[in-house]
Amino acid sequence: MSDADTELEARLEEQDSFEPPESFVEQANVSNPDIYEEFEENWPECWEAAADMLDWETEYDQTFDGSNPPFFEWFTGGELNASANCLDRHLDERGDEVAIEWVGEPTDEANRTYTYEDLHREVNEAAAALREMGVGEDDVVTMYMPMIPELPIAMLACARIGAPHSVVFAGFSADALATRMNAADSEYLITCDGYYRRGDPLDHLEKANEGLDNVEHDTETVVVERLPEDDAFDHDLRDDQRLWVDAVHAHKGAEVEPVARDAEDMLFLMYTSGTTGEPKGVKHTTGGYLSWAAWTSHAVLDIKPEDTYFCSADIGWITGHSYIVYGPLALGTTTMMYEGTPDHPERDRLWEIVEEYEATQLYTAPTAIRAFMKWGSEFPDQHDLSSLRLLGTVGEPINPRAWKWYYKHIGNEECPVVDTWWQTETGGMMVTTLPGVKEMKPGSAGPALPGIDAEIVDTTGEQVEPGRAGYLTIQKPWPGMLRTLYQNDERFVDEYWREYSDTDSDDWRDWTYFPEDGAKIDEDGYITVLGRVDDVINVSGHRLGTMEIESAIVGVEGVAEAAVVGGDHEMKGEAVYAYVITEDGYDGDEELRDAIIQGVEDGIGPIARPEQVIFTPELPKTRSGKIMRRLLEDIANGAELGDTSTLRNPDVVASIQEQVQK
Ligand code: WT7
């Protein structure tokens, strides 16, 4: 490092707040600081600004309907179609402009560019194919696909005919696919033959087929061929399966009238992890969700039609739904899709893409930034990143060091960084700075967005003092919020509302949304999110339920009981620590350890793979028989342990501690 660099690093290290760059503010979509006050005074009508970002087939007659809490409705009476908003309405002015720029993992493969016209045509053909298969309005279509263009095409085709999609992340296991198809009674699956991961083709259809074997009802499958012939795997399609090319090409040139959907009609389902072993089917609607995705893309990501916007998330998670597909396309911009990982073939792959396509925004996860930081600034330094105007992060807390590295080495101190807190359930961003308005404080996501009423409270619901840890709550509804858990209203109330609401009240003001995150707030209203307070852990920005992992482990032969906790991890944020009791007091060995890891990969997927498996004859329990998870977390972190004498079995602690490798 040169002296000048060292000096700069030292200065950055001390600086704890950053003004938005002047050059950014001048051109920002939102730059009026009064927006916070205006939205507060004008709630809920302020959210008409979000609805106004869309084209409605029938105007809504009520902005917000809070008459049946917590089943809130937005823009009621309105009708619209999400695919028409993402495609048709851009055709006149922007038909020739690029909608999706797809980059495959192999560097010698041509990229695929879809203009709005191309995308419109392909979505129409796919919609016609789905209709012919019998997909009707409100039939849930499951997609189990990696980052290939047919995934957003299929999503938009479903939206066009009013069939909700349920996208299952391609890295999830066959079992996870089956669980989700069964839970949603989904009779249709769109998947693909395979894809590339770090140079190797993966056989995805085999995994999909294994999943289908465990689906309890009849299904029909469409298979996209992503792999070129040389790399393709040998598969015979089953009777209830057909190729995408055959299904879609039979409808060349077809036009499918977009179905007018009620604002409150379901646009999609997304399964996410919760406290119990059963994933939760988060239901999002057409009007509220789409307007939320569009408005936040406009206000926070500062997306303009002429941008080339790059979000490196996977469409299989909510980030990709809202901020690769729906938000950017609703605004008529160019959205990038990259199939591979940032380190293949070299650790500069992302920077190469940013340079080549002149990306204007980059939205990624802290775990990726920590990896970039570890690899070193020589990789971004090899490339011209001056096209970038804004940087974003999402998925987990970002430590100030990583934030500053991102700000300096990727943004050249010229791009605001938005640290965006939100969840699958919130549909879109909730807590973050408005990049053209607010100063940034590394490590703190920022104030709640205008019109969002966030409070940090204690267990009784009282607001805590600035600087003290408490629980994040959202006091007022917002358009992008989940409407319920699919076919499980009761669990919806229990999971998100019961904690802080007067559940007997008919007045929506008595209802408070609880996201199950810990947080603190400073004197300026900036919120630092501390992490989950339920039994959910966050591994590399991926949300995993410890109960789901435990049940996968307990299913392994030779295992009697298991407790899973998250331990701190330098790169992943958190990592999976599995404490396992074997059957018959048998000492665990390598073979059982491997079987447990395999069991987790089969049950959930490689992302949930335990970092460490610790065999123990007993788990530390309270006198009343509850497993002391806190203690297991402290042990995983090598932390000082408090008083353990109140345990029923204090002796086990030392023997467990010895086994944990630090
Ligand atoms: C959980 C939601 C949001 C889309 C991707 C993850 C954590 C998310 C932040 C942030 C601190 C964050 C929370 C939240 N989280 N963003 N900027 N700072 N924590 O969606 O899988 O539904 O997970 O991710 O704990 O509850 P998800």
When pLDDT is averaged across residues 544-563 and rounded to a whole number, the result is 96
Residue whose tokens read 């990038």: 336
The count of other CB atoms within 10 Å of the CB of residue 98 is: 18
The answer, yes or no, to whether residue 9 has pLDDT greater than 60, is yes
Q: What percent of the chain has pLDDT over 70?
A: 99
Structure-token pair, residue 427: 């549909």
pLDDT at 651: 87
C-beta 65 within 6 A of ligand 1: no
Task: List the residue whose alpha carbon is closest to atom 6 of ligand 1.
Answer: 395
pLDDT at 3: 66
Distance 395 CA to ligand 1 centre (A): 4
C-beta 529 within 6 A of ligand 1: yes
> Which tens digits make up the pLDDT trace of 252-293?
999 999 999 999 999 999 999 988 888 999 999 999 999 999
pLDDT at 218: 98
- Relative to the CA of 424, which ligand 1 atom is closest? 22
C-beta 419 within 6 A of ligand 1: yes
Distance CA 122, CA 249 (A): 10
Task: List the residue whose alpha carbon is closest to atom 2 of ligand 1.
Answer: 423
> Which tens digits make up the pLDDT trace of 429-443?
999 999 999 999 999
The 8-class DSSP code of residue 19 comes to P
Higher model confidence: residue 3 or residue 625?
625
- Relative to the CA of 516, which ligand 1 atom is closest? 26
Binning pLDDT at 50, 70 and 90, where does residue 643 land?
A: confident
Which class is 116-258 in CATH? Answer: alpha beta
**451 class by beta-carbon count within 10 Å (0-12 exposed, 13-18 middle, 19+ buried):** buried
When pLDDT is averaged across residues 322-349 and rounded to a whole number, the result is 98
Binning pLDDT at 50, 70 and 90, where does residue 11 land?
A: confident
- Domain residue spans of the chain: 116-258, 469-529, 535-661
Residue 221: closest CA among 237, 233, 210: 237
Q: In 3-state terms, what secondary structure has residue 62?
A: strand
Residue 482: closest CA among 493, 473, 471, 472: 493
Residue whose tokens read 């009621």: 76
- Relative to the CA of 322, which ligand 1 atom is closest? 4
Answer yes or no: are the C-beta atoms of 320 and 165 closer than 8 Å: no
Structure-token pair, residue 628: 């002391």
When pLDDT is averaged across residues 357-374 and rounded to a whole number, the result is 98
Binning pLDDT at 50, 70 and 90, where does residue 2 land?
A: low
Distance 279 CA to ligand 1 centre (A): 16
Distance CA 566, CA 581 (A): 18
pLDDT at 624: 87
Percentages helix, strand, coil for the chain, rounded to the nearest 5?
35, 25, 45
pLDDT at 662: 66
> Which tens digits make up the pLDDT trace of 483-527?
999 999 999 999 999 999 999 999 999 999 999 999 999 999 999
Residue 428: closest CA among 289, 578, 301: 289
When pLDDT is averaged across residues 17-40 and rounded to a whole number, the result is 97
Residue 16: closest CA among 633, 524, 623, 607: 524
C-beta 272 within 6 A of ligand 1: yes
Check whether the bond before 44 is cis (ω within 30° of 0). Answer: yes
When pLDDT is averaged across residues 108-132 and rounded to a whole number, the result is 97
The 8-class DSSP code of residue 317 comes to S
Q: Which range has the worst mean pLDDT, 380-384, 504-508, 642-646?
A: 642-646
Q: In 3-state terms, what secondary structure has residue 635?
A: helix
pLDDT at 4: 62
pLDDT at 282: 98
When pLDDT is averaged across residues 567-587 and rounded to a whole number, the result is 91
Q: Ligand 1 pocket check: which of 423, 456, 539, 607 to mutate, most ligand atoms within 8 Å of Cβ?
A: 423
Cβ-based neighbours of 642, under 8 Å, separated by 6 or more: 634
C-beta 518 within 6 A of ligand 1: no
Distance CA 265, CA 137 (A): 10
Binning pLDDT at 50, 70 and 90, where does residue 5 land?
A: low
Mean pLDDT in the chain?
A: 96
The answer, yes or no, to whether residue 61 has pLDDT greater than 80, is yes
- Relative to the CA of 542, which ligand 1 atom is closest? 21
Q: Ligand 1 pocket check: which of 167, 422, 516 to mutate, most ligand atoms within 8 Å of Cβ?
A: 422
pLDDT at 661: 75
Task: List the residue whose alpha carbon is closest to atom 20 of ligand 1.
Answer: 423
Structure-token pair, residue 73: 């409705």
The answer, yes or no, to whether residue 59 has pLDDT greater than 70, is yes
pLDDT at 278: 87
Answer yes or no: are the C-beta atoms of 371 and 398 closer than 8 Å: no
pLDDT at 287: 98
Binning pLDDT at 50, 70 and 90, where does residue 588 land?
A: confident
Binning pLDDT at 50, 70 and 90, where does residue 644 land?
A: confident
CATH number of 535-661: 3.30.300.30
Distance CA 169, CA 291 (A): 24
C-beta 282 within 6 A of ligand 1: no
pLDDT at 1: 55
pLDDT at 449: 98
When pLDDT is averaged across residues 192-208 and rounded to a whole number, the result is 97
